[in-house]
Structure 1
Amino acid sequence: MPDNIALFATIILLLPMFYLLLAAPAFLLVRLDIVQVTQLLRGMFDSYFVALAIAGGIGTIAVLADGRPVLGLGIGAIAAFALLSRRWLLLRMDAHIRERDSGDAAAVRRLRWLHWVGMLSNAVQVGGVLACIPQIAAVS
Protein backbone atom coordinates (compact mmCIF):
# COMPACT_ATOMS: atom_id res chain seq x y z
CA MET A 1 0.00 0.00 0.00
CA PRO A 2 1.47 3.39 -0.92
CA ASP A 3 2.25 6.01 1.69
CA ASN A 4 -0.94 8.09 1.61
CA ILE A 5 0.48 11.06 3.50
CA ALA A 6 3.42 11.41 1.12
CA LEU A 7 1.18 11.12 -1.94
CA PHE A 8 -1.31 13.59 -0.51
CA ALA A 9 1.46 16.08 0.29
CA THR A 10 2.83 15.71 -3.23
CA ILE A 11 -0.56 16.23 -4.85
CA ILE A 12 -1.21 19.32 -2.73
CA LEU A 13 2.21 20.62 -3.75
CA LEU A 14 1.38 20.07 -7.41
CA LEU A 15 -1.87 22.07 -7.29
CA PRO A 16 -0.32 25.57 -7.37
CA MET A 17 2.29 24.33 -9.82
CA PHE A 18 -0.36 23.11 -12.26
CA TYR A 19 -2.28 26.36 -11.77
CA LEU A 20 0.70 28.39 -12.96
CA LEU A 21 1.50 25.88 -15.69
CA LEU A 22 -1.98 26.41 -17.13
CA ALA A 23 -2.53 30.11 -16.37
CA ALA A 24 0.83 31.70 -17.22
CA PRO A 25 0.92 30.92 -20.98
CA ALA A 26 -2.25 32.99 -21.47
CA PHE A 27 -0.17 36.08 -20.72
CA LEU A 28 1.90 35.36 -23.82
CA LEU A 29 -1.13 36.45 -25.86
CA VAL A 30 -1.38 39.94 -24.37
CA ARG A 31 0.90 42.96 -24.35
CA LEU A 32 2.72 43.75 -21.14
CA ASP A 33 2.63 47.50 -21.72
CA ILE A 34 -0.98 47.48 -20.46
CA VAL A 35 -0.97 48.38 -16.77
CA GLN A 36 -3.81 46.06 -15.76
CA VAL A 37 -2.21 43.11 -17.53
CA THR A 38 1.09 43.52 -15.69
CA GLN A 39 -0.75 43.97 -12.40
CA LEU A 40 -2.57 40.71 -13.03
CA LEU A 41 0.65 38.94 -14.08
CA ARG A 42 2.45 40.16 -10.97
CA GLY A 43 -0.46 39.12 -8.76
CA MET A 44 -0.53 35.68 -10.37
CA PHE A 45 3.15 35.07 -9.68
CA ASP A 46 2.87 36.49 -6.16
CA SER A 47 -0.06 34.26 -5.24
CA TYR A 48 1.59 31.26 -6.87
CA PHE A 49 4.77 31.60 -4.82
CA VAL A 50 2.83 32.16 -1.58
CA ALA A 51 0.56 29.16 -2.24
CA LEU A 52 3.54 26.98 -3.15
CA ALA A 53 5.44 28.00 -0.02
CA ILE A 54 2.42 27.29 2.19
CA ALA A 55 1.69 23.96 0.51
CA GLY A 56 5.37 23.05 0.72
CA GLY A 57 5.61 24.01 4.38
CA ILE A 58 2.56 21.97 5.32
CA GLY A 59 3.72 19.06 3.16
CA THR A 60 7.16 19.15 4.76
CA ILE A 61 5.73 19.01 8.26
CA ALA A 62 3.34 16.20 7.29
CA VAL A 63 5.96 13.93 5.72
CA LEU A 64 8.49 14.63 8.46
CA ALA A 65 5.87 13.64 11.04
CA ASP A 66 5.26 10.49 8.98
CA GLY A 67 8.94 9.59 9.18
CA ARG A 68 10.08 10.46 5.63
CA PRO A 69 12.98 12.90 6.21
CA VAL A 70 14.41 12.73 2.66
CA LEU A 71 11.04 13.54 1.11
CA GLY A 72 10.55 16.24 3.74
CA LEU A 73 13.84 17.83 2.70
CA GLY A 74 12.80 17.70 -0.96
CA ILE A 75 9.42 19.32 -0.34
CA GLY A 76 11.03 21.82 2.03
CA ALA A 77 13.55 22.73 -0.65
CA ILE A 78 10.72 23.46 -3.07
CA ALA A 79 9.03 25.67 -0.47
CA ALA A 80 12.28 27.52 0.24
CA PHE A 81 12.93 27.94 -3.47
CA ALA A 82 9.44 29.41 -3.84
CA LEU A 83 10.13 31.99 -1.14
CA LEU A 84 13.49 32.96 -2.63
CA SER A 85 12.10 32.99 -6.18
CA ARG A 86 9.18 35.17 -5.10
CA ARG A 87 11.50 37.80 -3.71
CA TRP A 88 13.85 37.65 -6.72
CA LEU A 89 11.15 37.72 -9.39
CA LEU A 90 8.84 40.30 -7.82
CA LEU A 91 11.64 42.77 -7.05
CA ARG A 92 12.76 42.63 -10.66
CA MET A 93 9.23 42.74 -11.98
CA ASP A 94 8.46 45.82 -9.88
CA ALA A 95 11.64 47.52 -11.11
CA HIS A 96 10.78 46.79 -14.75
CA ILE A 97 7.21 48.00 -14.25
CA ARG A 98 8.56 51.28 -12.85
CA GLU A 99 10.96 51.55 -15.78
CA ARG A 100 8.12 50.88 -18.23
CA ASP A 101 5.96 53.51 -16.56
CA SER A 102 8.79 56.05 -16.79
CA GLY A 103 9.00 55.53 -20.55
CA ASP A 104 11.64 52.82 -21.03
CA ALA A 105 10.38 50.82 -24.02
CA ALA A 106 12.87 47.99 -23.39
CA ALA A 107 11.35 47.34 -19.97
CA VAL A 108 8.43 45.51 -21.58
CA ARG A 109 10.87 43.07 -23.17
CA ARG A 110 12.52 42.52 -19.78
CA LEU A 111 9.09 41.90 -18.22
CA ARG A 112 8.39 39.30 -20.88
CA TRP A 113 11.75 37.69 -20.14
CA LEU A 114 10.84 37.45 -16.44
CA HIS A 115 7.52 35.92 -17.44
CA TRP A 116 9.37 33.23 -19.41
CA VAL A 117 11.81 32.64 -16.53
CA GLY A 118 8.91 32.13 -14.11
CA MET A 119 7.17 29.71 -16.45
CA LEU A 120 10.36 27.75 -17.11
CA SER A 121 11.19 27.54 -13.41
CA ASN A 122 7.72 26.21 -12.69
CA ALA A 123 7.90 23.68 -15.53
CA VAL A 124 11.21 22.32 -14.24
CA GLN A 125 9.78 21.98 -10.73
CA VAL A 126 6.64 20.24 -12.01
CA GLY A 127 8.78 17.84 -14.02
CA GLY A 128 10.95 17.09 -11.02
CA VAL A 129 8.02 16.42 -8.72
CA LEU A 130 6.24 14.27 -11.32
CA ALA A 131 9.43 12.28 -11.89
CA CYS A 132 9.61 11.53 -8.16
CA ILE A 133 6.03 10.27 -7.80
CA PRO A 134 6.91 6.61 -8.55
CA GLN A 135 9.49 6.65 -5.74
CA ILE A 136 7.08 8.44 -3.40
CA ALA A 137 4.29 5.96 -4.15
CA ALA A 138 6.55 2.92 -3.76
CA VAL A 139 6.00 0.77 -0.72
CA SER A 140 8.37 1.84 2.02
Structure 2
Amino acid sequence: MDGGGELQNIKRWIVFYPIYINSKKTVAEGRRISLTNACENPTCIEISDCCAHLKLPNAIELDKAYPRDFMQRGRVRVLLKREDGTLCNPAISSRKQLMLRVSELVPRHPGRTKKQEPASSSTAGPSKSGKGGRKKR
Protein backbone atom coordinates (compact mmCIF):
# COMPACT_ATOMS: atom_id res chain seq x y z
CA MET A 1 0.00 0.00 0.00
CA ASP A 2 2.73 2.46 0.96
CA GLY A 3 4.52 1.92 -2.36
CA GLY A 4 1.43 3.05 -4.26
CA GLY A 5 1.29 6.23 -2.18
CA GLU A 6 4.93 6.90 -3.00
CA LEU A 7 4.18 6.75 -6.74
CA GLN A 8 1.32 9.20 -6.27
CA ASN A 9 3.71 11.60 -4.58
CA ILE A 10 6.15 11.52 -7.53
CA LYS A 11 3.57 13.64 -9.36
CA ARG A 12 4.24 16.38 -6.80
CA TRP A 13 8.02 16.26 -7.21
CA ILE A 14 9.62 19.01 -9.28
CA VAL A 15 10.35 18.34 -12.94
CA PHE A 16 13.92 18.78 -14.17
CA TYR A 17 14.52 18.66 -17.92
CA PRO A 18 18.16 18.39 -19.10
CA ILE A 19 17.52 21.39 -21.37
CA TYR A 20 17.23 23.64 -18.27
CA ILE A 21 21.01 23.48 -17.73
CA ASN A 22 22.21 22.85 -21.31
CA SER A 23 24.76 25.45 -22.42
CA LYS A 24 24.05 24.56 -26.07
CA LYS A 25 20.51 25.96 -25.76
CA THR A 26 19.28 29.55 -25.57
CA VAL A 27 16.86 30.92 -22.98
CA ALA A 28 14.19 30.94 -25.71
CA GLU A 29 14.86 27.22 -26.29
CA GLY A 30 14.38 26.48 -22.59
CA ARG A 31 17.64 27.10 -20.70
CA ARG A 32 16.86 28.42 -17.22
CA ILE A 33 20.28 29.31 -15.79
CA SER A 34 23.01 31.63 -17.06
CA LEU A 35 25.30 30.42 -19.82
CA THR A 36 28.34 30.68 -17.54
CA ASN A 37 26.72 28.26 -15.06
CA ALA A 38 25.28 25.86 -17.65
CA CYS A 39 26.97 22.63 -18.76
CA GLU A 40 27.20 21.01 -22.19
CA ASN A 41 24.52 18.48 -23.21
CA PRO A 42 23.60 16.95 -19.82
CA THR A 43 21.72 13.63 -19.83
CA CYS A 44 18.94 12.39 -17.55
CA ILE A 45 21.25 9.75 -16.10
CA GLU A 46 23.90 12.36 -15.22
CA ILE A 47 21.28 14.62 -13.63
CA SER A 48 19.81 11.68 -11.69
CA ASP A 49 23.27 10.62 -10.44
CA CYS A 50 24.02 14.20 -9.36
CA CYS A 51 20.71 14.38 -7.47
CA ALA A 52 21.55 11.08 -5.78
CA HIS A 53 24.98 12.52 -4.87
CA LEU A 54 23.16 15.49 -3.30
CA LYS A 55 21.04 12.93 -1.38
CA LEU A 56 17.83 13.99 -3.12
CA PRO A 57 15.25 11.32 -4.04
CA ASN A 58 14.74 11.30 -7.81
CA ALA A 59 13.14 9.32 -10.63
CA ILE A 60 13.94 9.31 -14.36
CA GLU A 61 10.96 9.49 -16.72
CA LEU A 62 12.22 8.49 -20.17
CA ASP A 63 8.78 8.52 -21.77
CA LYS A 64 8.48 12.31 -21.32
CA ALA A 65 9.96 15.12 -23.42
CA TYR A 66 10.36 18.88 -23.13
CA PRO A 67 7.63 20.55 -25.21
CA ARG A 68 10.00 22.95 -27.00
CA ASP A 69 12.47 20.14 -27.81
CA PHE A 70 10.37 16.98 -28.08
CA MET A 71 13.14 15.05 -29.87
CA GLN A 72 15.20 14.83 -26.68
CA ARG A 73 13.43 12.28 -24.51
CA GLY A 74 13.55 12.08 -20.74
CA ARG A 75 13.29 14.18 -17.63
CA VAL A 76 14.08 13.76 -13.96
CA ARG A 77 11.62 14.18 -11.10
CA VAL A 78 13.28 15.40 -7.91
CA LEU A 79 11.93 15.64 -4.37
CA LEU A 80 13.10 18.87 -2.71
CA LYS A 81 10.63 18.92 0.20
CA ARG A 82 9.12 16.04 2.12
CA GLU A 83 5.41 15.74 2.93
CA ASP A 84 5.90 17.63 6.22
CA GLY A 85 7.60 20.53 4.38
CA THR A 86 11.16 19.83 5.55
CA LEU A 87 13.92 20.00 2.94
CA CYS A 88 15.54 16.72 1.83
CA ASN A 89 18.85 18.59 1.52
CA PRO A 90 19.00 21.80 3.62
CA ALA A 91 21.58 23.27 1.20
CA ILE A 92 19.06 23.17 -1.67
CA SER A 93 15.79 24.99 -1.08
CA SER A 94 14.71 25.94 -4.62
CA ARG A 95 14.64 24.67 -8.20
CA LYS A 96 17.16 27.34 -9.17
CA GLN A 97 19.63 26.20 -6.50
CA LEU A 98 19.15 22.60 -7.63
CA MET A 99 19.83 23.52 -11.28
CA LEU A 100 22.99 25.43 -10.35
CA ARG A 101 24.35 22.61 -8.13
CA VAL A 102 23.59 19.89 -10.69
CA SER A 103 25.18 21.89 -13.53
CA GLU A 104 28.33 22.21 -11.39
CA LEU A 105 28.41 18.45 -10.79
CA VAL A 106 27.58 17.14 -14.29
CA PRO A 107 30.98 18.00 -15.89
CA ARG A 108 32.67 16.02 -13.08
CA HIS A 109 30.33 13.02 -13.57
CA PRO A 110 32.34 9.75 -13.71
CA GLY A 111 30.68 8.70 -16.99
CA ARG A 112 31.65 12.00 -18.57
CA THR A 113 35.29 11.94 -17.45
CA LYS A 114 35.69 8.36 -18.73
CA LYS A 115 34.24 9.32 -22.12
CA GLN A 116 36.66 12.20 -22.60
CA GLU A 117 39.86 10.30 -21.73
CA PRO A 118 39.69 7.66 -24.51
CA ALA A 119 38.74 10.33 -27.06
CA SER A 120 41.82 12.43 -26.28
CA SER A 121 44.18 9.44 -26.24
CA SER A 122 42.75 8.02 -29.48
CA THR A 123 43.41 11.29 -31.34
CA ALA A 124 47.00 11.31 -30.07
CA GLY A 125 47.38 7.54 -30.58
CA PRO A 126 47.84 7.11 -34.34
CA SER A 127 51.39 7.88 -35.42
CA LYS A 128 50.43 8.07 -39.10
CA SER A 129 49.71 11.79 -38.81
CA GLY A 130 53.43 12.34 -38.09
CA LYS A 131 54.40 10.76 -41.45
CA GLY A 132 52.52 13.40 -43.42
CA GLY A 133 50.07 10.93 -44.91
CA ARG A 134 47.17 13.38 -44.63
CA LYS A 135 48.81 16.37 -46.30
CA LYS A 136 48.08 16.95 -49.97
CA ARG A 137 50.77 18.70 -52.02
Structure ranking higher in strand proportion = 2
Kindly name which structure, 1 or 2, has the bigger radius of gyration based on alpha carbons. 2
Structure ranking higher in helix proportion = 1
TM-score in terms of structure 1 length: 0.29
The structure whose RCO (Cα within 8 Å, separation 6+) is larger is: 1
